[in-house]
Amino acid sequence: MEGCPRNRETCPKLLDLIPQERKWYHDEGKNNTDQEKKLELRLAPPGGDEEDGSVMKKKNTKKEAEDKTIFNLSGNHFSPSNKTNYAPHHISQKRTAPGPVVGWPPVRSFRKNLASSSSSKLGNDQINKSGDGEKQAEPKREGMFVKINMDSVPIGRKVDLSAYGSYEQLSFAVDKLFRGLLAAQRDASGGEGEGKPIIGLLDGKGEFTLTYEDNEGDKMLVGDVPWQMFVSSVKRLRVIKSSEISSALRFGCSKEDKMRN
């Protein structure tokens, strides 16, 4: 996780902070040697997962807390406590460094995957970030609908990606969805009927090219990654004129970005 001091290089800085830190452990004499002993040891990351895991993970974290010292970076207003009672080695993993702690914040698992599965504005599915452990089930969606827009066609469509297994199938679907609309746009008098088939979406050879916006907000060319990987990261599709490839990828305006914050 970002900002989490894990490597040895940050050790010296933390040593400086130790005198100001809260002392959980009571016995001063015992403290110093214990502290130093702890500081010498490897600062291994805790469980490692982003989300809270099971208590088994907590056990591992606890063991490592034995080895680490307390990275109390908030260090203010603390006074050493005068406890004389028993001081086990590994008390609470009292780190205020941003490392994940089991069960904190105290939000139940089914409320946790909102950030990753927020599909409300985008109208499509996202893969849940797992790591939440037992309570999270893979939600079964009835379809994976993403918006698809085409240059020069004012009305967008929605396409169910779960209905297709390959880029070719998607390409055919796009043709089906937009052929009529495109023809209507181009020939307002409604002469020619069906219109030309939309081909060459994937190889750059056609009049149009298929692009998409992924879950990180980047505009990408369709076809580079394996199909499943594409499905898991796509947020919306856009059919652009092949001639405008460079400009579209630079200046695309994303409604999601506006709504996200």
- The site for another protein, by CB under 8 A, has a size of 65
Task: Give residues 129-148 in contact with another protein (rule: CB under 8 A).
Answer: 133-135, 137, 139-140, 142-143, 145
Tell me how far, at minimum, the Cβ of 210 lies from another protein, in Å.
20
Instruction: Return the residue of 8, 9, 19, 77 that touches another protein, per CB under 8 A.
Output: 77
Q: Does 247 bind another protein (CB under 8 A)?
A: no
Instruction: Return the residue of 74, 152, 162, 169 that touches another protein, per CB under 8 A.
Output: 74
Torsion of CA 151, 156, 159, 165, to 10 degrees: 0
Q: Determine the Cα–Cα distance for residues 222 and 209; give it in Å rounded to an integer.
A: 8
Q: Does 229 bind another protein (CB under 8 A)?
A: no
Instruction: Return the residue of 7, 81, 162, 243 that touches another protein, per CB under 8 A.
Output: 81
The DSSP bridge partners found for residue 212 are 220, 237
Q: Is 37 or 135 the residue whose CB approaches another protein more closely?
A: 135
Both tokens of 58, joined, read 């907590």
Tell me how far, at minimum, the Cβ of 207 lies from another protein, in Å.
25
DSSP 61-130: HHHHHHHS----TT--S-------S---SS-S----SS---TT-S---GGGGGGTTS--TTTTS--PPP-
| Contacts for 225 with CB less than 8 Å, ≥ 6 apart | 233
Q: Strand 219-221's sheet: what is its strand order?
A: 153-160, 145-150, 234-241, 208-214, 219-221
Instruction: Return the residue of 86, 189, 193, 250 that touches another protein, per CB under 8 A.
Output: 86
Tell me which stretch binds another protein (CB under 8 A): 86-94, 167-175, 211-219, 220-228: 86-94
Q: Cβ(162)–Cβ(140) under 8 Å?
A: no
Q: Determine the Cα–Cα distance for residues 139 and 141; give it in Å rounded to an integer.
A: 6
Instruction: Return the residue of 3, 19, 29, 193 that touches another protein, per CB under 8 A.
Output: 3
| Residue 158 three-state SS | strand
Residues binding another protein (CB under 8 A): 1, 3, 22, 24, 52-56, 58-59, 62, 72, 74, 76-79, 81-83, 85-94, 96, 98, 100-112, 114-115, 118-121, 123, 133-135, 137, 139-140, 142-143, 145, 157-158, 259
